[in-house]
Amino acid sequence: MQPEAASPAALTTILTVDDQPANLRLLMECLERRGLHVVVALSGQEGIERAEFVRPDLILLDVQMQGLDGFETCRRLKSNPATRDIPVIFMTAASDPRDKVNGFAAGGVDYVTKPIDETEVLARIDTHIALNRLQRQLEQQNAQLQREVFVREEAQAALQRSNVELEQLAIERAVRVKAEGETAGLRRLLEERDQMLAEREELLNLLAHEVRQPLNNASAALESAAAALAAPGERAGADVRNPLVRARQVLDHVIGTLNNALAAATMLSSGATEAIADTDLDTLVGLVVHDIALDERSRVAVESRTATRTVQLQPVLMRLALCNVLANALAYSPPGSPVRLAISDSEDPLAIVFEVSDQGDGIPPNLLTKVFDKGTRGRNGKKKAGAGLGLYIVRKVVGLHQGSIEIVPNVPRGSIVRLSIPQGVAP
C-alpha cells in the first residue's frame, strides 16, 4: 500500500492529456485513489477545449502526442486568459535536457518522467496546487490592499478639504470675534472645529485598523507557510521557499512604513501620545527583535549591561523607535554583518540607555546635522526602500520622553546610535 501523503483540498480537479488511452487509464486510477477529480483528454486540441470548459486546478500534459505536441498545447493554454494561470506539469519519457528547457519556455512549471512514479507525481501535484493557490491568495490580498489604499487616498483628500474648511472657519471666527464679540458664535465654531478634528482622528484610526490588520494577518500566514515548508520531511525547493520569503519581506516593509506613517500622523504630529508606564524591559526587547524581518533576526545581538527589569517609558512608541534604529542599522550594514543592541544604566542623569551599533560605512559629515529630519536618507539609500521617516520617528519619540539621542563613530567601522531615556521623571 502506498503511504498516505498530505492531500490537496477537496474537489481538486486534475486534467490529464495523453494520446495513449492505456497511459490515461493508469494515471486516472492513481489520481482517483487519492480522491482527486480527474478529467481526461486524448489530444492537445481536446485538452485545450476541456481546460477552458472545466478550469482544472492543474494539468498533466504529455509531451509527445500526435497533432499538437505538449509544448504547442502548453503555449496555446498560456496565451488564453481563461487558462494561462493553470499550472502545467509535463510528462515525458525523454531525458534530453533541451526538452525540459523547451517545456519551461512554453510555460510549464515542472516535469515528471515516464513511467510515472505514483509517489512523485502526487508530491509534485500537491506542491504546485498549494503554490498556485497561495499565489492566487496573495493576488487577492494585493487587490484588497490596492482598494484600501484607494480608500485611504480618498480619506486623505477629504482631510485636505476639511483642513481648508477649518482654515476658513478660523478666519470667520476671528472676524466675528473682532466685529461682533459674539462669544456664543465663537463657542459654536470651536465646537464644530473640535468635532471635525475628532472625525479626522477617527478616519486615521479606521485606516490603521482596516489596512494594518489584514497586512499583519497576511504576514503571519506567509511565515506559517514558510515554516511548514521548512519542516522536517518537506521537499519543497527554493522555487517554492524563495517567493514566500520575498513576499513576506515586502509585507514586512509595507507594515513598517504604514506603522511609521500612522505614528507620525496620529500620535506624534498631533501631540496625542500614550502614557508613561512601568514596562518589563526583557519583554520590550523581545518584541522589538520579533518585529525585525525573520531572515535578519539572527544578525541582531542583544547585550544587557543592566540589572534593571522595569523601566518607565511609552512602550508602543519606544518599541517602534528601537525597531526603526535596528532596521536602519541592518539596511546600511554589509549583508550578514552583526548589529548589536546594548542596554545599560546611566546614573547622572538617571536614565536607561539603548545603543545600536553597526559595521556599515558610517554617516557622512554633511548628513549628521540632518539625519533625523523627515525624508533624509543615506548615500546608498537607493538600495533601501522607504520614505525617510524612520529616524525622524525616533527623534520625535525620544523628544516625547524628554530624552537625548546622538550618533557617534563605531571604531574601527560603522556608527553607534545612542538613545538615553530619563527615568523617575514625572509624566
Segment 149-166, tens digit of pLDDT: 888 888 888 888 888 888
The verdict on 81 and 159 lying in the same domain is no
In a domain, 4, yes or no: no
Range of the domain at 199: 131-268
The CATH number of the domain holding residue 82 is 3.40.50.2300
- Give, for 41, the enclosing helix (H) or strand (E): strand 37-41
What is the SS3 assignment for 112? strand
Q: Tens digits of per-residue pLDDT, 1-31?
A: 344 444 444 478 999 999 999 889 999 999 9
| Alpha carbons 55 and 22: distance in angstroms, whole number | 24
Q: Which of 116, 149, 167 is where one domain is finished? A: 116
With respect to residue 144, please indicate whether it lies within any of the assigned structural domains.
yes
Residue 125 lies in a domain: no
74 plus 147 within the same structural domain: no
Distance (Å, whole) CA 321 – CA 313? 12
- Asked if 300 and 389 sit in the same domain, the reply is yes
Please state whether the peptide bond connecting residue 335 to the residue before it is cis, i.e. omega within 30 degrees of 0. no
Distance CA 98, CA 90 (A): 13
Amino acid type, 222: L
How many structural domains comprise the chain?
3
Helix (H) or strand (E) holding 32: helix 21-33
> What's the CA gap between 266 and 194, in Å, rounded?
15
Same domain, 347 and 256: no
Distance CA 244, CA 131 (A): 9
Residue 123 domain-assigned?
no
pLDDT tens for each residue of the chain, 427 residues long = 344 444 444 478 999 999 999 889 999 999 999 899 999 999 999 999 999 999 999 999 999 898 899 999 999 999 999 999 999 999 988 777 787 888 889 999 998 988 888 888 898 898 988 898 888 888 888 888 888 888 888 888 888 888 888 888 878 777 776 766 667 766 777 777 666 655 556 555 555 554 555 666 666 666 666 666 666 655 555 555 566 666 656 666 566 556 655 655 555 555 556 788 999 999 999 999 998 888 889 999 999 999 999 999 999 889 999 999 999 899 888 988 999 999 999 988 899 999 999 998 888 888 877 888 876 666 554 455 455 677 888 998 999 899 999 999 998 899 999 999 999 875 5
Helix and strand tally (H, E) in the chain?
Answer: 11, 12
Q: What is the largest CA-CA distance in the chain?
A: 98
CA 64 to chain centre: 42
pTM (2 d.p.) = 0.45
176 lies in the same domain as 241: yes
Q: How far apart are CA 106 and CA 76, in angstroms?
A: 9
Whether 314 and 242 map to the same domain: the answer is no
Closest C-alpha among 32, 2, 13, 21 to residue 118: 2
Give the CATH number of the domain where residue 300 resides.
Answer: 3.30.565.10
283 and 252 together in one domain:
no
User: Does one domain contain both 140 and 247?
Assistant: yes
Decide if 345 contacts 337 (C-beta within 8 A). no
Residue 7 lies in a domain: no
Q: Would residue 124 count as lying in a domain? A: no
Same domain, 220 and 313: no
Residue 8 lies in a domain: no
Domain end call among 89, 116, 143: 116
Q: Is 328 helix (H, G, I), strand (E, B) or coil?
A: helix
Residue 17 included in any domain: yes
Question: 136 and 104, same structural domain?
Answer: no
Last residue of a domain, one of 241, 268, 295: 268
Tell me: do 194 and 327 sit in the same domain: no
Same domain, 167 and 57: no
